[in-house]
Structure 1
Amino acid sequence: MSVADSNGNAEPGDISDLTLKRSVHPASSVKNLFAGVPLNAVNVGLSDNGWSNGHQDAYSSDSVNVDGPTGSRLTMRRVVNDRGAMMIMVCNTKGALIGASVRWDNDSEVYLTVFDSKSMKKIAEQPIGNVPGTSFRGGYFFLDHEENAVAINTDSTFSRYETSGFAARGREAAEYGEPESINEMWRSPVIGGTDPNANLYGVMAVGDEASNPNRSRYWTVVTPDGPGSPTATVTTTVKVLDIAPDGTIVSSSQIDTAGYWTNNTLTADDTGLYVIYNSPEGAEGVVHKYTTNADGDVKLAWSIPYAQVPYVKMGMTNTGSGTTVSLMDHAPSGNKLVVFCDNAEPRTHVCVYKETGGSTPPELIGKVPVFRPMRSATEASPVAFNNTVIVSSNFGHTVDGADGTSQYIPNEPGITCVRVNDACTSVDTVWEAALPINTSFGMPQLSRSSGILYVFSGQWSPDTAVEGTSAPTAEPQYYISAYDAFDGRIIWQVPVGAGYPNTHEYGGIYFDRLDEDGSSSKSLYVGTNRHLVKVTSHRS
């Protein structure tokens, strides 16, 4: 257990457990615009909305219909995760947190890990490979209809791992023993594409009942790694595979996309698969929607272009968009909206399109520029729900995970909220939060039933290095922050710790399903480079 300093913060660079209690102003929205609005996302191959993948649901909304920690008394509990940053998490109905943990300073080794959401103890783990330095390949997975994890192994296979049976054992569990191994239910053969330099990058369940009645059909994306090597000659292959219970391929269909590659997660609802692509220097990026025909063959439904830069902006790993495509059911008009951020110069735009159905490309509703000119970038997918999109800045994120070096200079601050009007004809900026404390990391997450936005934030102190010191001495202090999603005000902040071990590089903030009395969850979770962190609110 760590001894906190006089401000309740862990010492810089501390790698230990820590418990911190705080009294705060209760998190309450001035006007919650999200409670009671339905989320119509459907994908029959995924678990319940809110706990199916790294972006929470089939629409990649980065929102969950729970309160989050909204009380006046908070407890922050931080435990060491020796397998690294548990960036992407889901929670099964038995209270087990399932995630992909990555040790950036250990050859980017990836483990599928399971924690008890109550005790914060690790229950099980399974190595699944290594994430390449310029790609997130191998770090993504989803929870399927039976709450088993489908994860990519970095040998271009993917497996179904038995995670449905893991359960929370409670706060009083005294002995856990060594973590169990996770049973591999089946492993696919190597999934290749037309391009010999491409690898299996993403897997997602086919979402509609008619074409996936047995829940055994999967979208796969085979693409080259990273922005440094691909050129106009690269090819990405999208496949639909039928997988037998032993992992063999029963049938497959594929389509090639020449000249494009992707480095973002996949969104698949009951109408098809959405993929956002990077393009070579001088070309536009594109968003593609794929569907299947009556024979089960994959086809391109539509394509829309977007602006990208011919270089990698500071803080990104993409020349194109760093965001996953998000979908929104626009309640006032009944339209389905397609949302993503481009990577334009001098400013990134939030792009909102209206689906028109079939093979007709979506209609542009609006493009809203965000953040400061020439310092505008985001690699954190937006919150996107009903009529609201919230996006955060990542420009200047320079942590070097390979050697555990802290980031000594703040990235550009900025969190921006845009909203679609009721007529679904325009998109406008509603609020901007751009104070220095609003330097953010990873993906903000919205608790819809409370209207509170939870953000991982950083704050820097002046450098106090003296002559002869080889490196700056000031390390950032990191916080979990609660914002009112209605107006962007900060309600409270809870310190997590300082320095590299406490940095939340990528991924989001996640929630368990229910608290101990069966009401809407009062807890959230986040993975830092060396810890799993839980913030819980208690009754006053």
Structure 2
Amino acid sequence: MRSITVMSGILAPVLCATAVSAAPVPDGPGKDSVPAYVGAPATPKAIPGSPVPSNPHMARPGTAAMHADSWASDTYPFLGPLGRNPKVVSTAKAGGLPALCSTVNYAARTHLIVAQCTNVGTFTLRLIDPKTLKDLATFKLPARPSTVTAVTGLDVDAVLTDTSGGAYYYLDDKDRAVLADSNFHVRRFAHVRDGEGWKFKVTDDWNLKKYVPHSCPTWSEPEPKGVCDPVTSVQPDWKGDIWWVTRKGRVGTIDPKTGRVKVVKLKGEQIQNSFAASRDGVSVVSDHALYKFRADAQGRPKAVWRKPYDRGTRRKSGQLDQGSGTTPTILQGGLVAITDNAEPRMNVLVHRMSDGELLCKVPVFKPGKSATDNSLIGFGRSLVVENNSGYRNFIELASGASSHGGLSRIDITDSGCRTVWTSKERSPSTVAKASVPGGLVYAYTKEPRKDGVDAWYLTAIDFHTGKTVFKVLAGTGKLFDNNWAPVTLTPDGAAHVGVVGGLVTVRDS
């Protein structure tokens, strides 16, 4: 979900494009030396628990956001691929259109994909046919200031650790994309069709420059004197206010009816990830603490409670900063979960949403080899955590290498929490997801190989047992590295993965 971008220019109110086809993502060496399919088709067995409730101001759960819904459950109420004669299709950039898609959402009204994608030179909102992967419309977005820093300061890490620019956007209850761009505007985009075809149309525009320091690097002034504080994520609460957070620890709201903006600043803290919202409040994690917020009568965010966690002593390999790498995950029973950054082992932490009380703390993975920068999967009374330790970015991952690996299921019981299983699968950097009716966890995996072949697989793990059910080869080579992009399931039974070279889709034939 993090990616390199470079772009500048003024946005037109509408940018349309006719359907554009593209060639498949090209494979690297070794495709014929690795199996195209491993395992056997899955038999669906549902995950126990009640459905994730629908935020009335977002699209239905499973179609609304990078983390699937307002609770950031990373679960879907429909089936993904079951491994029955699976077919893999991909599309690479063509005609200057963007490649890696950081966020892929599904507009149920039009049955089209709305994706935020990036390539060196662009940041783009795309409308995609889910079957052909052709672009039906595109809208160019502003470049992130970190791109300037990466180029002029020779600091590639600046852009590879930047989560701003629109990746954490959502679809509202009318399937309109609400996105915070790098020009400090929160805009709402409808996708509409006329005699010329599909196009994106800006229906609302809220300017945050009055409320956020925006002296950001530009090509003409790469080292400005002021402060630059990019907006990283937006999402509505249950009342309809649009909440937003910034990298340097600002938490704000927008009243979409009046345009009123309110904001508070967390002193000495940063926010790297997105946040979650329930009827009870908004859950935000900084690089120091977990918070529960509510808006007061004037719309100003107020911290109901703050719970510090062990942030460790350093930024680990497999993390984007020194702190929790997870977006908070809300669970049934009024619970919220994150991971910390403790040494020698990272812990899964479960708090009570009402008062912040810590209910349990479970260490995961091997000492000195535990870190994650991806949200927990949460459903019912269960969580799944992924180990990203050993992965930094697609540039630094050596050929044939992988992360330290592991995914663990944690169950919350009356007496605390326990580890149910740990899979040895290596999912270097993807946001893993789960299908509730299928009972499958989907990860994007890569095993280390002495021959240097980079073989990337969509991998289905049995949620109940932790056993690998099947693996489908997406492709080989650096271009199939997802570089923090998520697995996304869509109601038509497909799984989509944004990769460095483009977009990969796996579906049963």
TM-score (norm. length: structure 2) = 0.83
1:143 aligns with 2:171: yes
Q: 1:192 to 1:258 in 2, by over 3 A?
A: farther
Q: Give the counterpart letter for 2:141 in structure 1.
A: I
1:410 aligns with 2:402: yes
Which of 288, 302, 317 is residue 314 of structure 1 equivalent to? 317
Which of 216, 219, 222 is residue 243 of structure 2 equivalent to? 219
Contact 1:43 1:205 survives alignment (8 Å)? no
The ranges of structure 1 where at least 4 consecutive aligned residues each deviate by more than 4 angstroms after the TM superposition are 1-4, 20-24, 192-196, 404-408
Alpha-carbon distance, 1:223 to partner:
3.4
Q: Give the counterpart letter for 1:101 in structure 2.
A: C
Q: How does 1:383-462 map to 2 (within 5 A)?
A: 383-401=377-395, 407-421=399-413, 423=414, 425-434=415-424, 437-462=425-450
| Distance in 2 (alpha carbons) for counterparts of 1:117 and 1:478 | 21
Partner of 2:62: 50
Partner of 2:99: 84
User: Which of 266-275 and 254-263 deviates more?
Assistant: 266-275
Root mean square deviation of aligned Cα: 2.8
Q: Give the counterpart letter for 1:417 in structure 2.
A: R
Alpha-carbon distance, 1:484 to partner:
0.4
Q: 1:3 to 1:508 in 2, by over 3 A?
A: closer
1:33 aligns with 2:25: no
Deviations 1:495-532 (A, max 9, x none): 1111211111113211222x3xxxxxx22111111121
Alpha-carbon distance, 1:250 to partner:
3.2
Q: Give the counterpart letter for 2:503 in structure 1.
A: L
TM-score (norm. length: structure 1) = 0.78
Q: Give the counterpart letter for 2:118 in structure 1.
A: V
1:326 aligns with 2:342: no
Q: 1:49 to 1:491 in 2, by over 3 A?
A: same
Deviations 1:442-469 (A, max 9, x none): 1111000010111100023215xxxxxx
| Distance in 2 (alpha carbons) for counterparts of 1:3 and 1:255 | 46
| Distance in 1 (alpha carbons) for counterparts of 2:397 and 2:357 | 45
1:161 aligns with 2:204: no
Q: Provide the identity percentage.
A: 21
Unaligned runs of 5+ in 1: 15-19, 168-176, 225-235, 279-284, 330-334, 464-473, 516-521
Q: Give the counterpart letter for 2:405 in structure 1.
A: P
| Distance in 2 (alpha carbons) for counterparts of 1:385 and 1:166 | 37
| Distance in 2 (alpha carbons) for counterparts of 1:250 and 1:398 | 39
Partner of 2:3: none
Q: How does 1:359-378 map to 2 (within 5 A)?
A: 361-378=355-372
Local SS of the residue matching 2:479: helix
Partner of 1:68: 80
1:128 aligns with 2:141: yes
Which of 375, 378, 393 is residue 381 of structure 1 equivalent to? 375
| Distance in 2 (alpha carbons) for counterparts of 1:495 and 1:427 | 35
Partner of 1:116: 129
| Distance in 2 (alpha carbons) for counterparts of 1:268 and 1:497 | 36
| Distance in 2 (alpha carbons) for counterparts of 1:88 and 1:363 | 33
Unaligned runs of 5+ in 2: 1-21, 147-158, 214-225
Which of 497, 502, 508 is residue 531 of structure 1 equivalent to? 502
Partner of 2:216: none
Contact 2:81 2:494 survives alignment (8 Å)? yes
Partner of 2:14: none
Partner of 1:276: 285
| Distance in 2 (alpha carbons) for counterparts of 1:271 and 1:296 | 15
Local SS of the residue matching 1:501: helix
Which of 196, 202, 216 is residue 184 of structure 1 equivalent to? 202
Partner of 1:348: 346
Deviations 1:152-200 (A, max 9, x none): 210111211113x479xxxxxxxxx9x9652222322234547662424
Local SS of the residue matching 2:323: coil
Query: How many correspondences in the alignment?
Result: 454
